Amino acid sequence: MAAISNEILIVGGGPSGLLLAHELLRRRIPVRIIEKRPGPSHTSRAMTIHARSMEMFDHMGLANRLEEVCLECPGNIYHFPQLSEDKCPRTDYRPLPTRYPFYYKTSQNDFELALRELMLSKYSIAPEYQTELVALKQHAQVATATIRHPDGTTAATEYPWVVGCDGVHSFVRNAAGIKFEGDTVAVMSMADLELKSVNFDDRWMNYYFNEDLFMNCTKMPGKLWRVYMSEPTGNYVFAKDQNKAYQEVADKLGIGFEVGRMYWQTAWNVRNHIAETYRAGRMLICGDSSHVHSPSGGQGMNGCMQDAFNLGWKLAAVYKKQASETILDSYEHERKPIGKQISEGAMSTHEIVMGFGIPPEDRLHLTREPGWEWRTVNLVSGLSHNYRSVSNLPKNLTPVPGPQAGDRAPDALLIQEPKRRIYDVFRRPQFSLIVAPGTATTDVVDIGATVRDEMDRLFPGQVSTYLIINADSTDPRFDFDHQSLDELDEFTQRYEIGSEGRLVLVRPDLYIGMACLPGEWEEIVQYMKQWFLAPQETGESRETNRKMSSL
């Protein structure tokens, strides 16, 4: 007979699994993470952390630690053979409207270590290595997982939910019967190695290519370089002597460096696949288990972690019975289109640098399409990802300017010294309701205080209400932790707060839930009911509604 556990089982201890575990643990959900690898990885694999992910890590309290194990990269240079370097196309991330106008280069092993240290320090939780899922079935309201332990013994346990963060060959996805269709689009090798006689700007990601060869080179933290190599035949990619293969490809591309000691190297088939669905009953899939694509642009790990960031707060609410299981459908509805965008964006860059058989001069036009650089930078950084098309809003809302429902919530500096940002306000595992009175201070603050009380009553613990005011004074209805002056007017400008004021609801994953005029406050209650179960209204709450309607 199977044992019974109240934990959520996460299969896979990579970035997606670790991040999902963190999001559940910070909401006091018990988790178990199993990983069949013998121990923590010592190889770098994925290497880029983009702006939207850094905003997420700032929210989690990990950004400062990551800055210590990363190098800033301003962007990519595409070295077309017929162009001098100053004429080569670039994707420059420095103009991005974020605190992180660049992307970080880091070794995945160092990055995963930082995530594990965060979980150990906060929750005393770590992945269980040499622990493998060998059977998985579901029935009624549980999934039964048979797990092989390090000593070779197996045991069956019933879990309320099982999430597969176990990669492209996902056991969970296969057990759930979820199709994973797509194509192999290239073969690729990558290595961490020493280089000599480097003559390109090592801050940037440098793409070199001709009709038949591709190589990508950049400096990593420490003494090593990351180099990717691809070609259509596999003769170089799968050559026995990889030092020789890398040197020959570099020489043929005219890069000019000398390959030194190789510390780590791997080769693989580059796939472009996406899962048919992200959930089957009590089984969910996340990260590479649900979509995988060309590494061009370095979006893979970032998109996978954003999947986990989206899923975590929803699964926590369902586990606590604060929400219906139906909100888990929104995980796929929101993230699958993003997975497709990532795949399409990766393939568009792939066509430029690995469009083998097509002369590079015939690919150059792809970089000269109007808006190509800005569109690419916003997409790859994750800042342009949004849920606008799948946002479910109350009908008859008055349109308001500023970030729309489903858009990324932008950061803004509220107070110069000591610094306080709007992202500091959002750094909590809840929805954030921002009350911004504009110049209509008294009436809007009255509404804000009563809406706060209504949120606390209907959705206890799910909404934190915060007052941002232009006047240099405090309001006694909001305590020190729940109000701030918009000293620089930056929040007012970025959120386009009009003189009539605004209510802005921000989701736990830093996307706009909805924004409305203060007089339409009741629509926020209706919006929240799509996420959380609210108790039946009492006579007292109807009286509150009557009073609010008169404001």
Q: What is the pLDDT of residues 184-238, one digit of tens each?
A: 888 999 999 999 999 999 999 999 999 999 999 999 999 999 999 999 999 999 9
- Going by pLDDT thresholds of 50, 70 and 90, the confidence category of residue 535 is low
Architecture of domain 3-181+272-381: 3-Layer(bba) Sandwich (3.50)
Q: What is the spatial distance between Cα 306 and Cα 298, in angstroms, rounded to a whole number? A: 14
Helix (H) / strand (E) element for 448: namely helix 441-458
pTM here?
0.94
pLDDT in tens, 485-518: 999 999 999 999 999 999 999 999 999 999 999 9
Task: Say whether pLDDT at 539 is over 60.
Answer: no
The predicted pLDDT at position 537 comes to 46
pLDDT in tens, 147-161: 999 999 999 999 999
**Residue holding tokens 């209400």?**
465
The predicted pLDDT at position 475 comes to 82
pLDDT in tens, 309-327: 999 999 999 999 999 999 9
Task: Say whether pLDDT at 540 is over 60.
Answer: no
Q: What does pLDDT average to over the chain? A: 92
Q: What is the spatial distance between Cα 190 and Cα 242, in angstroms, rounded to a whole number? A: 10
Pick from 315, 304, 196, 205: nearest CA to 247: 196
Task: Say whether pLDDT at 474 is over 80.
Answer: no
The predicted pLDDT at position 550 comes to 38
The predicted pLDDT at position 199 comes to 92
Task: Say whether pLDDT at 171 is over 80.
Answer: yes
The predicted pLDDT at position 497 comes to 95
Contact 252, 213 (CB under 8 A): yes
**Residue holding tokens 């077309």?**
80
pLDDT in tens, 240-281: 999 999 999 999 999 999 999 999 999 999 888 999 999 999
pLDDT in tens, 127-136: 999 999 999 9
* Minimum mean pLDDT range among 120-134, 236-250, 348-362, 422-436: 348-362
Residue 534 CA, chain-centre distance (Å), reads 29
- Going by pLDDT thresholds of 50, 70 and 90, the confidence category of residue 543 is very low
Provide the token pair at 45: 């694999």
Between 349 and 177, name the one with better pLDDT.
177
The predicted pLDDT at position 441 comes to 67
- Going by pLDDT thresholds of 50, 70 and 90, the confidence category of residue 544 is very low
Where do the domains of the chain lie?
Answer: 3-181+272-381, 183-265, 396-530
Between 542 and 395, name the one with better pLDDT.
395
Task: Say whether pLDDT at 469 is over 50.
Answer: yes
Between 1 and 523, name the one with better pLDDT.
523
CATH topology of domain 183-265: D-Amino Acid Oxidase; Chain A, domain 2 (3.30.9)
343 three-class SS: helix
Rounded to a whole number of angstroms, the CA Rg of the chain reads 25
Contact 414, 420 (CB under 8 A): yes
Superfamily, domain 396-530: Phenol hydroxylase, C-terminal dimerisation domain (3.40.30.20)
Mean pLDDT of 354-376: 94
Residue 222 CA, chain-centre distance (Å), reads 26
Strand partners, 147: 133, 155
Mean pLDDT of 459-474: 88
Q: Where are the alpha helices (H) located in 178-264, listed in sequence order?
A: 242-253
Between 430 and 45, name the one with better pLDDT.
430
The predicted pLDDT at position 44 comes to 66
- Going by pLDDT thresholds of 50, 70 and 90, the confidence category of residue 298 is confident
> What CA–CA distances, in Å, run from 51 to 163, 236, 504?
26, 34, 23
Between 294 and 373, name the one with better pLDDT.
373
Q: What is the spatial distance between Cα 257 and Cα 4, in angstroms, rounded to a whole number? A: 58
Provide the token pair at 360: 């590079």
Q: What is the spatial distance between Cα 93 and Cα 308, in angstroms, rounded to a whole number? A: 25
* Minimum mean pLDDT range among 55-64, 70-79, 306-315, 339-348: 339-348
Mean pLDDT of 326-347: 90
The predicted pLDDT at position 495 comes to 97
Pick from 69, 70, 59, 48: nearest CA to 19: 59
